[in-house]
Structure 1
Amino acid sequence: MALIMNEKIKASEVELLDLEGNLIGELPTQKALQLAKEQQADLVCVNMMKSPPQCQLIARGKAKAQIKKADDNTPKKEKEIRLTPAIEQHDYDTKLKQCEKLLASGHPVSLVIKLSGKQGQIAKELLQQLIQDLKPYGTPASGIQLSGKQAAVTIMPK
Structure 2
Amino acid sequence: MQTLTRLFFPAALAFIVATGPALADSSASSAANKAKADPAYAQAEQLVEDGKYEAAIPVLEGIVAKDQENADAFNLLGYSHRQLGSIDVALGHYETALKLEPRHRGANEYLGELYLKMDDLAKAEERLDVLDSACFFGCKEYTELKNAIAAYKARAGS
TM-score where L is the length of structure 1: 0.30
Larger radius of gyration: 1
Q: Which has the higher helix share?
A: 2
What TM-score, normalized to structure 2?
Answer: 0.30
